A and B are shown apart, each in its own frame.
Chain A
Amino acid sequence: MIAISHDCSCETNPLIPQVCKVIAVTQETSDVKSFRVQTLDGRIPFSFVPGQLGMFGVVNHGECMFCVSMGGEDWIEFTVKKVGTVTERIHQLHPGAQVTVRGPYGNFWPADACKGRNMIFIAGGIGLPPVRTFLLHTLANRSDYGRIDLVYSASTKKDLVFKEQLFDLWPNEPNMHVHVSVYRASDDWDGPVEFTAPYLESLGLDITNTTAVLCGGPSLYRTCSKALANMGVSDNDILTTLEMRMKCGIGKCGRCNVGSKYICLDGPVFTQAEVNAMLKD
């Protein structure tokens, strides 16, 4: 059983964001961009543990909760898919633009509890950025973890995020295996065309001493957690990060409850066993 710990604190009014600036923008796909942000005096907006959340916004348009997708010494990065009002506006940001940032919120991937284990990372579409935070941690502490498998899918080849890492960097990491499928074929794709769950099952991965880390849309989550069960992975060894609409991020506004759990405080990271114990919405 993996214990998921929690470490949130805030010394000032937790609903007041910091004004930060965008220092780099990366176009990941046609509708996904990554935004690197730091404080106006060049510091990291907040230190975070992989898996934690941050509220990222544009002052006169609002703010949304994202999993912090990456962090450096003096910056953090959010990877944002353009799907609604705020994210449309975020996508117009350019380096130098001032934005609002607050966090960190929620719990984090239980990286320490997974030491010595083999890891299967599973993601669909824009679900890769939250999973990647854990994956990058395992790569940075390579000797702490065994074999690493990444199973990643998106609708088409052009919807795959972090292509450079997927195809050029990660396949060359020692004892790491990258498996990518798409749902719809195209002329420039010669890899597997399959949904994530059947693709995952078809890989015949060894699941001894293995933790699976899962993030994707509701149908991917449903089908892949079933596939993992079929493969024999126990519910305590499946980790996922859940998503709900959030306004405050600090367990006050009431919005992100699933049963008596608040995703912003008790989550976003849960084991499959914990999810099973929740009353469904």
Chain B
Amino acid sequence: MILKKERLNDLLEALASKATVYVPRELDGQTRFAPFAKGSAVELGKAKTVFSPKETLFPQTETLYTYAQLGEDITLCETVNTTNQVLFGVRSCDTYSIERLDEVFLTRTFIDTLYLERRNNTLIVALGCTEPDRSCFCTSFGIDPAAGTGADIQLTDTGDGYFVEALTGRGTEALQAWSPFLTEGQKTAARELTFSLALDTSNVKDSLEQLFEHAYWNDLSMKCLGCGTCAFVCPTCHCFDMSQNNKGNTGYRFRTWDSCTFSDYSMMAGFHNPRPTKMRRLRNRFMHKLSFFSDRYGSSLCCGCGRCIELCPAGIDISRVIEDTSSLMGAGAEQQGSTAVKEVAS
């Protein structure tokens, strides 16, 4: 079935009457997934949004529970998420990332209830890429930019419309409500995409582990500002902090996104910090993306969306880290004791 582009807004309007429909929109000069409102411009043509759709499932700040104190007595009230939502126009890099978030929050003994509630109430509509950005390198991680794994419905641009296909039972069910807006039509042959960044990531995990003590991390971390931008725009970064906000005898406990490059991220009471230097923090970040996550979950935590490359104010580029470590390995750097990592106070 085909959704003609001129019917897109009608469809979104219909969907928005039943659920919150997140679409790529430009707000304050930056694109992000924001609720569709009648008349709002939908930015489906750009390869990726500045902010990932992560915030629709794992909000930047989220209340865990509220509390009230009356004398000695304390009562807690849990937060429950019941809003239905549709993520519309999600690219393959981001559906891959949602699959990784699912693994983090929904597997390994404990289930994150708030994430589960949002995830259960979310329909994901993927959109195949037609024009990658220069910072895009999802194919280097084996991701197909035309097919969003983990999505419920896949859209493919056919020029004047989108070919629509359900990928899950939930998607098939949802498409019933779409039928008034669809017309008969065939999928056009996928266009061959050209990526300016194509990396060999097959050995990156081994390379990083073997170069763990290499001075490369020193040089790289010198320019890191520890600003956390990379983590905040990253679709897979899931680290969070927990804190509380008091208002007299009441308040709420909440979680917020955090970044392992922040200096107090792992600071413990008594000022003991296992990662006291920028070098250790930045190295941990790249190790987590490209090695540690793979140990636990068997996949890369980098999806090659390139958002951190676009936005790092110091020009730290994960694709270059992959290339640099690969060429250092080629040069036999892991054998050279003289280049051992040095600690620089920061």
CB-nearest residue of chain A to B65 = A16
CB of B116, distance to nearest CB on chain A (Å): 9
Q: Are A244 and B108 in contact (CB under 8 A)?
A: no
> Which residues of chain A (90-104) have a CB below 8 Å from chain B?
96-98, 100
Pick the interface stretch among A161-169, A189-197, A207-215, A249-257. A249-257
Q: Is the CB of A60 within 8 A of B266?
A: no
Instruction: Please classify the interface of chain A as helix (H, G, I), strand (E, B), loop, or mixed, using the class held by over half of its residues.
Output: loop
Contacts of B251 in A (CB 8 A): 59-60
* Complex-state Cα separation, A245 to B296, whole angstroms: 20
Shortest beta-carbon distance from A232 to chain B in Å = 29
In this assembly, does A84 line the interface, its C-beta being within 8 Å of a C-beta of chain B?
yes
Instruction: A13 to B112: give the CA distance in the assembly, Å.
Output: 7
Which of B240, B269, B288 makes the CB contact (< 8 A) with A247? B240
A252 and B105 contact, CB distance less than 8 A = yes
Contact in complex: A13, B240 (CB < 8 Å): no
| Interface-facing stretch out of A114-122, A179-187, A258-266 | A258-266
The minimal Cβ–Cβ distance linking A19 to chain B, given in whole angstroms, is 5
A250 to B67 alpha-carbon distance, docked (Å): 22
Give every chain A residue within 8 A of B113 (Cβ-Cβ): 12-15
Residue in chain A with minimal CB distance to B297: A260
Asked if B267 lies at the interface with its beta carbon under 8 angstroms from chain A, I say: yes
Indicate which residue in A14, A255, A260 contacts B266 across the interface (CB closer than 8 Å). Answer: A255
What does the 1/0 interface line of B203-227 toward A look like (CB < 8 Å)? 0000001001000000000000000
Residue A281 CB within 8 A of the other chain: yes
A59 touches which of B69, B240, B274, B295 (Cβ 8 Å)? B69
CB distance B64 to A15 under 8 Å?
Answer: yes
Give the distance in Å from the alpha carbon of A260 to the alpha carbon of B104 in the complex.
13
CB distance from B81 to the nearest CB of A (A): 11
A interface residues with partner B (beta carbon < 8 Å): 6, 8-10, 12-17, 19, 59-64, 83-84, 87, 96-98, 100, 217-218, 243-245, 247-248, 250-260, 265, 279, 281
Task: Give the top 4 A-B pairs by smallest Cβ distance, nearest first.
Answer: A254-B239, A260-B295, A84-B269, A250-B110
